[in-house]
Structure 1
Amino acid sequence: MYRNFSLKLLLVSVVIFAFDLMAYAASDGNVLEADPQVGTQAKGTYMKAVLLDSLTKEPIEFATMSGKYIGEQTATRYALSDHNGVVVVPNMRVGRATVTIEFMGYKTESFTFDIKKGANDLGQIYLQEDINQLESIVVTGVANPMVVKKDTLEYNTAAVKVNDSDMLEELLKKLPGIEIDSEGKITANGKEINKIMIEGKTFFLDDPQLATKNLPAKIVDKVRVVERKSEQAQFTGIDDGEEETVIDLGIKKGMMNGWFGNLMGGYGTEERYQAAGMLGRFTKTSQVSVIGNANNTNNRGFMDMAGSMMGGMRGGRGMGGGRGMFTGNGITESWMGGVNAATELFDGKLELTGNYMYSGSDKNVQEKKIKETMLSDNNIMYNYETGYELSRSDGHRIGGEIEYKISDKTSLLFRPSFNFTGGDYESFNDFVTLNNTDSTNRGLSKEWGENNAQQANGMFLLRQRLGKPGRTMSVRLDYGYSNNELDGGNYSTTNYYENNTVDSISVVDQRFFQKDKSYNLGGRISYTEPLGKNFFVEGAYRYNFKETNSDKNTYNQGATGAYDMLDTLYSSHYENTFITQRAELNFMKQEQKYNLTVGVGVEPATTKSYGRGRDTSYTVTNIAPAARFDYRISDQKFLRVRYRGRTSQPSINQLLPIPDNTNPLRVTMGNMNLNPEFTHSLNFEYRTGNREKFSWFGTFIDASYTTNKIVSKSWYDDNGVQYTQPYNDGTGVYSLSGRAMYNSKIAKSNFSISSMTFVRFGNGITYVADKGDYVKNITETLSLSEHLTFSYRNDFIEVRAGGRVNYQNAWYSVQSIDKVATWTNEITGSVNATIPGGVNIVTDIAHKFYIGYGDGYGDNSTVWNAEISKQLFKNQITLKAKIYDILKDAKNVYRTTTENYIQDTENNTLGQYIMFSLVWRFGKFTGGGPGMGGMRGPGMGPRR
């Protein structure tokens, strides 16, 4: 029944999406075209005006101008101003109308005007700022949620409803194309976000979760997803293709030039608690923020750098083995506090940014999983595991940025960062292995350890213009240092079976100490020269040097009971030096409508390794062509094509020739003879928007082909123990993926639709030996997903309903039996309503059902949450009660598909609890009427 439902839901989603595309294509041709006199033109009878700021005389973008005829109850004709402040309201008729112009932070202009046939030019209209309006205005339900610019996709936060206690994460989750996973990782249009900025200034450097988990949603006016150019390209004006995708937040004007903040505290059943606070001051030239967060509700307010640095030394030598850290979410208690500051001095010539943070977490993961490993035709290895992991980590993080604009021609940039982390962990695992139906082994394992790590990284950039426009030189230096120490032990006992009878028993009882150090130093020098007629040439050279040293000493228990017997098999000293160079020549053509770059690079890479008493050294050279094409079709249409070749070095874990037996069933070891990979990447992106239809469409296609791919070679002994080592495969590995997103108001009503479709097809390679020669296994994987959401929004209520379908399948060349495809399906709904008296009610429900999972992993689940809140004391205080998982049915189940195995995993969850909390908003944060979804934003329709 569920399988048929999934198929139907997927087909319905595809049909709706296709219909949306056709509708969009049909409406897209109606966008107003440019007019040299007023900026836009229209046929028939229409109004036009130019909207300007009364003080600065600058144009105002996204303001609303509407026309309501005498006797009409509501205005049904309105339009938004463009980046020149030009607004055209089409489809008017002859008669007397009330013209209203609205924009957040400005006084509303309203007057009557006699509409005549043809063009009705209202001339320049100056809007006056109204700070008091920011304190009391409410949001109407009609807003243009997204606007396409050249390298920016801008979201209008007034198009969604948020509550007083919501953080930025809750706002981002409601924006089309932006997704946040259970670990807090943000992707926008399929691209990972590693940096969040506030009004162009970086917030806590490279930890976006510090913003998403700690900034109140209601201070945000705009969310801009920006393809940010490199510092060099920003200075020279010449695109070097080194852009990164960031989120830049626009702050509401009422929050500028004054202190504001909020404090939140809550306590609930099951001893759950949460506390958070933020104090901030933002101006055009400076920013100061102090944040704090503590809870045991899985709401970690930062990236777990301490945990990730500790996990980098545990297990997983090579590929496909080593249990390492548990993968599930579990239950986390976390705490953090930090300060971030940025300022401009000497009329903006000197910009200083600095931040400090202390953070820590306690994590408890309970996990069970079933794993199917493909050996050969009709031969499958089954692993059943249950276990837990307890881990604790904390650390200090310091970062800064200094940019000094010495003159219009010279600029210096320095960006250092430091991390000091530590932690400890303990894990236990109970396992059983079956070869088809016969028991192969059964046992348990335990691992524990303490970790300390230090990191220092930095970047220095000198940029210089050399007189002639377009003639520039830049020099960049990068450095890094890391030191990681792990002191721990592992114990395991394994029973090996023959004909379902215990044949032998193996016991491992060891203590170990491991110390990894690495140093890296790199530099790039670039020179650009104009060739005339907007042609430029760039010559560049890059050099990177990285040295890694790893020492591991493993000891067995001696006759005295002390762990003083060195185990040479699991101990080693290892050194690796990796040197890469790139000499490149690029030709660029830059026009108002498009940029084109074509270039080629030569990349020699040298690897030198020492370990196990032997040296290895080799050099490979790759030709790395590159091409970039950006085409601005119009203000609302943008096309981008990218091609690039890139070398990737093996990791230290893949190189280190020391067996890792922390998981007695999967022993892994690195390979000193690994060569770097080389990947060809092709990316296509098209974005378009329609201001008049309040719609947006984007499509993104990514293709890659990797040569010299690092894959895994695995073999099994008679006891079913897997041994794995990485290996360079001579054949290529490919991946092709596509994303399509569509968002639109439905006929300019309060209803809207959002659709996101994703497809990926690729292959992977492994080598498996099962009591014989190696067999090459080629795995082809297919993933399809559709996420469809309908929403309704007015001043007092927001209703959202939707569904998500995810299909996964894999085909293994060593298996003639088709594996069962999996479907992960979800139906969701939510209501956010404000009723008289300043009472807000929110409820959301999500029903998940699974198809194709292993026994015990595919049970359906329904998670229902509800909350009620009340604003007091002129909206400065909010009291809230929320119940999580009303039906006590939450589950955390997922499937992992790799080149040679399929694994289903289930983790523990928080379960049901009730939280009572209080939020205090102070300073510039006070005010705002009940039911605000954020203060009145740009692009709003007329008041009803």
Structure 2
Amino acid sequence: MKKIITGMALLLVTTLSAFSQTKNITVSGRVVEDTKEPAIQATVQLLLLPDSVQASGTATTAQGYFTLPKVSAGKYVLKVSYIGFKSQYIPLHLYATTTAKNVGTLTLETDAVMLAEAVVTAEAPQVQVVEDTLVYTSSAYRTPEGAMLEELVKKLPGAEIDDEGNVKINGKDLSKIMVDGKEFFGGDVKTGLKNLPVDMIEKLKTYDKKSDLARITGIDDGEEETVLDLTVKKGMNQGWFGNADVAGGTEDRYMGRFMLNRFVDKTQVSVVGSANNVNDQGFSGGGGPPRWRRNNGLTATKMLGVNFATQTDKLELGGSARYNYQDGDIASIGSTEDFLPDGNSYSNSNSRQRNKAKNFNADFRMEWKPDSMTNIIFRPNFSYGKTDNLSNSESGTFSSDPYSLVSDPNNWLNLEKIFNPDDDPLRSIRINAINSGSLSDNKSVSTDATLQLNRKLNDKGRNVTFRGRFGYTNNDNNQYTESETHYFQLLNALGGDSILVRNQYITTPTKNYNYSAQLTYSEPIARATFLQFSYQFQYKYSESDKTTYDLQGFPDWGLSTQLPTGYEEHAVDSLGKYAEYRYYNHDASVSLRFIREKYQLSAGMSFQPQHSVLSYKRGDYMIDTTRNVFNFAPNLDLRIRFSKVSQLRMTYRGRSSQPSMENLLPIVDNSNPQNVRIGNPGLKPSFTHNMRFFYNTYNAEKQRGIMSHVNFSATQNSISNSRVYNSETGGWTTTPKNINGNWNAFGMFGFNTALPNKKYTINSFSNANYQNNVAYLTSGKGADAVERKNTTTNLTLGERLNAAYRNDWFEFGLNGSISYSIEKDKLTPDNNQEPYTFSYGANTQISMPWNMTLSTNIANQSRRGYTDSSMNRNELIWNAQLSQTFLKGNATVSFEMYDILKKQSNISRSLTASGRSVYEYNGVNSYCMLHFIYRLNIFGSKAARDKMQGRRGFGGPGFGPGHGPGGFGGRRPF
């Protein structure tokens, strides 16, 4: 009996042990379409045999991945279902000794019968939330005929495009544009915005893409990039497609561009070209308000490029090459007020520049998987650039506000005009007047390469990775300058104004190279728990040799003449500089990563001992110095998944940084007498905290979405410039110093919903931004100098609201926005103001018979609350477009009118702790253009061609228009 009881006890313990183990099996994999695109929200079911009872189930993520945790041992069938594709069944036998089973990548086959019979009657949602990915439906946004990607992006909820073409989506900078998961021209955002036609796009996905290292190893290196991944319309990957657009207009405007693509199965080839002199300004269309994008100068550009990507089961290749030419003519008038404890300083300037630039860039990417356990990535890049610049400027500094004496001080900056004191209305407040010219050329060559090798040591997460990098840059800059400065508060030996004349030739060759080697290791220490180690060594070398030649002794020399014979003998040692810098960095990091069904947590710390060597020579001053410092960088990343469409993410990153070694040297740099710099050996390292919170949720049935984002950053011991103003010369002496108090907080909230019939939509986008800027202001001279800490704060509250009605031939929208700011200055409270900007308008797009479309929008932007009444003005912007499509949808003629009422200005404004400024630029905003657009579509499927040529659809809600506020009008600055 005793043996029987003992045997039963052992059997029971063994059974319970085995049973407990079976609950820990995790089944994972990935589902893709036959085009290798991720199958988003595909249904994955694990059916227990023999009764086919569902044991577990889930839906795939935006990248097509799925995980089924806590599965018992046994025999199963894995069923994958996806609308428009044939269901797939995979037999699985899970053993109790197994803790994880990866089924690999499952490719679904198109169900032709289902696609043929499918009838879509629902409105397409504008945006969907799939975990941490936002998926936009292209057909839900109307754009003009022949529109490029930029026109679609600015309509996306939460998207903003600034004056330089930089894109933010939900407050995060867009870093790359991809097509079907592959980089387009190296991911270059501006190339993608200007050259990808809207008609080819099915969906747009935006998400934070991990670096190659983090994607392969799971080790968070803090190099996430926000990307926009475009899905090409189905059927368009079986042939040729493209378009050409030629246009001419008033004000001598012209534009031409073409794009030719061949997408076949897993291969993409694209050729793009363009030429224009309209600053790449696109038409805003009928789906949103006009843009107040400034044209900072007149720019003509030309571009030609080729891009390719291909892949097999084991090898992915991709790359691009492009040539750019840019010719810019930029004129500006500016006004600046510098905050000072003893009375502010005022300056005005006029400038004119002619810039010509040529650039060639090439990049390549290879990812090779020789077997299921090995991954190799190689990325080389090369670039060459040449620029030529000619500039002339006039400027003047005043002891009090020049606008109190004349209506336009910028008309009184030329030295010839103010030569006679009796005819100069500003002579009593003048400090200096400077007229200068410059001619420069620059050549640069750079190349870099990255090699990464990863080897999985088992299927439980143990892996080892090596990554090596190399980079080289050679830059050669030559500059001719001539200037004449009059000092009205300094007297010369004869009792007249002091005059400083400089004619110089400056050469600055620089050379840089660097290399690094990194080894990482990941060890699973428990179920779905990983301990990760990384070590990296990095070396950087840079060399700069600045030589300044004084050409004042050559009276016949000018900017338009050749260098005079014998100029080499006139080098000025005190204005030259040689610096050789060597940097050695060790980076050891450790992190712990937890992966659970409802949350993911990663926490780590990086330790960075650094050794630097600087050899420096300036005139008679020579020094060889070394520095040893220790930096550290903590990081934390928590993702909580409430459901497949609702999640919260919180991140924290800390970074310590050291001041540059040149800033630590106790030397005086007076090469620019108006801006003298003095080093500070007492500088301390800075530490920056960055915290971010992100939450989103989405109701597919009601097409209702909520999204919020909060970001906070603060810097301890940040390096600020302590500036001492010289009231006799109008110049500044600047010394870098540590300061505390710089921080910034940003928050946004987006809400979108469709009304019950899905034809009416309401979108709201709210944001708040608070900036706390600190700086040192110094008054007095020498021993009487008093340094005080100044704080400026800027609270900006904004709201954008959009409502729209859509049916199959008509769209009408109303939009409005307001931005309210509270600007305060601690030391000079008289400068405080509470300006606000509001805009309102309407837009419509009408599809008329005979394939004709009319688009128009009108909006008024108003500014109020500025201390200077000239700033409180209105800008009424009206654009319109009429287009006619013919040749079975392959050709379009479009007539476009921009800024019909000629009300748009090109003015920018900035505020810091040390001052504020306003600049107005030249530009052509009001003109008309006639376009001819032709589309080439040669596909293997007629249905695909029809889809390309068909009119754009309509859809549900969005978070609001993606436009941002424009410039600030008026001649008077504040």
Q: Shorter-chain TM-score category? A: 0.7 to 0.9
Contact persistence 2:758–2:956 (CA under 8 A): no
SS at match of 1:810: strand
Change (3 A) 1:59 1:774: closer
1:426 is aligned with what amino acid?
L
Contact persistence 1:868–1:880 (CA under 8 A): yes
2:521: which partner in 1? 527
2:863 is aligned with what amino acid?
Y
Change (3 A) 1:105 1:928: farther
SS at match of 2:235: helix
Which of residues 700, 715, 719 is equivalent to 2:728? 719
Distance 2:300 2:254 in 1: 10
2:431: which partner in 1? 440
2:329: which partner in 1? 364
1:458: which partner in 2? 449
Describe the superposition over 1:857-913 as per-residue Cα deviations: whole angstroms up to 9, x where unpaired.
554322211111100110111011111121122202221112211111221221322
Contact persistence 1:778–1:812 (CA under 8 A): yes
1:553: which partner in 2? 547
1:17: which partner in 2? none
1:370 is aligned with what amino acid?
S
Change (3 A) 1:620 1:300: farther
1:405 is aligned with what amino acid?
K
The offset of 1:376, in angstroms, is 0.8
Distance 1:231 1:683 in 2: 23
1:610 is aligned with what amino acid?
S
Contact persistence 2:824–2:832 (CA under 8 A): yes
1:744: which partner in 2? 753
The offset of 1:817, in angstroms, is 2.8
Distance 2:437 2:595 in 1: 61
Which of residues 201, 224, 243 is equivalent to 1:220? 201
Describe the superposition over 1:740-785 as per-residue Cα deviations: whole angstroms up to 9, x where unpaired.
2222223343122222222222322322323323322233332322
The answer as to 2:801 corresponding to 1:788 is yes
The answer as to 2:795 corresponding to 1:804 is no
Distance 1:849 1:528 in 2: 57
The answer as to 2:358 corresponding to 1:397 is no
2:315: which partner in 1? 350
Distance 2:276 2:443 in 1: 24
Distance 2:133 2:303 in 1: 32
The offset of 1:509, in angstroms, is 2.0
Change (3 A) 1:788 1:268: same
1:763 is aligned with what amino acid?
N
Which of residues 381, 389, 398 is equivalent to 1:425? 389
- Please give the residue correspondences for 1:519-918 in structure 2 after superposition, counting only pairs within 5 Å: 519-561=513-555, 562=564, 563-564=567-568, 565-611=570-616, 612=618, 613-648=622-657, 659=669, 665-667=674-676, 676-725=685-734, 727-771=736-780, 772-851=785-864, 852=866, 854=868, 856-918=870-932
Change (3 A) 1:157 1:692: same
Contact persistence 2:808–2:953 (CA under 8 A): no
Which of residues 488, 492, 498 is equivalent to 2:489? 498
1:708 is aligned with what amino acid?
N
The answer as to 2:511 corresponding to 1:517 is yes
Contact persistence 2:806–2:954 (CA under 8 A): no
Which of residues 412, 423, 432 is equivalent to 2:376? 412
The offset of 1:292, in angstroms, is 0.6
Contact persistence 2:127–2:957 (CA under 8 A): no
Describe the superposition over 1:499-544 as per-residue Cα deviations: whole angstroms up to 9, x where unpaired.
9997322222222111122222223221111111222111112232
Change (3 A) 1:499 1:621: closer
Contact persistence 2:258–2:273 (CA under 8 A): yes
2:582 is aligned with what amino acid?
T
The offset of 1:641, in angstroms, is 0.7
SS at match of 2:216: helix
User: How many percent of aligned residue pairs carry the same amino acid?
Assistant: 31
Distance 2:372 2:197 in 1: 37
The offset of 1:573, in angstroms, is 0.6
Please say which of residues 707-716 and 489-498 is displaced more in the overlay.
Answer: 489-498
The offset of 1:140, in angstroms, is 7.6
2:444 is aligned with what amino acid?
A
The offset of 1:162, in angstroms, is 2.0
- Please give the residue correspondences for 1:151-170 in structure 2 after superposition, counting only pairs within 5 Å: 151-170=132-151
Change (3 A) 1:725 1:84: closer
2:900 is aligned with what amino acid?
I
2:824 is aligned with what amino acid?
W
Distance 2:137 2:302 in 1: 32
Describe the superposition over 1:88-130 as per-residue Cα deviations: whole angstroms up to 9, x where unpaired.
xxxxxxxxxxxxxxx99899xxxxxxxxxxxxxxxxxx96368
Runs (5+) with no aligned partner, structure 1: 1-51, 64-80, 86-102, 108-125, 302-326
Which of residues 501, 504, 508 is equivalent to 2:502? 508
The offset of 1:680, in angstroms, is 1.6
Contact persistence 2:137–2:204 (CA under 8 A): yes
- The TM-score, its normalising length taken from structure 1, stands at 0.79
SS at match of 2:391: strand
The offset of 1:55, in angstroms, is 13
Describe the superposition over 1:117-172 as per-residue Cα deviations: whole angstroms up to 9, x where unpaired.
xxxxxxxxx963688999xx9x9893211111222111111211123310011011
Q: How many residues align?
A: 805
The answer as to 2:352 corresponding to 1:388 is yes
Which of residues 103, 106, 112 is equivalent to 1:128? 112
SS at match of 2:736: strand
- Please give the residue correspondences for 1:269-308 in structure 2 after superposition, counting only pairs within 5 Å: 269-299=250-280
Contact persistence 1:141–1:750 (CA under 8 A): no
The offset of 1:342, in angstroms, is 0.7
Distance 2:476 2:602 in 1: 45
Contact persistence 2:937–2:945 (CA under 8 A): no
Distance 1:762 1:178 in 2: 22
Contact persistence 2:201–2:232 (CA under 8 A): yes
Distance 1:55 1:272 in 2: 41
Contact persistence 2:683–2:738 (CA under 8 A): no
2:91: which partner in 1? none
The offset of 1:475, in angstroms, is 1.5
Contact persistence 1:142–1:794 (CA under 8 A): no
Distance 1:444 1:784 in 2: 41
Distance 1:708 1:479 in 2: 32
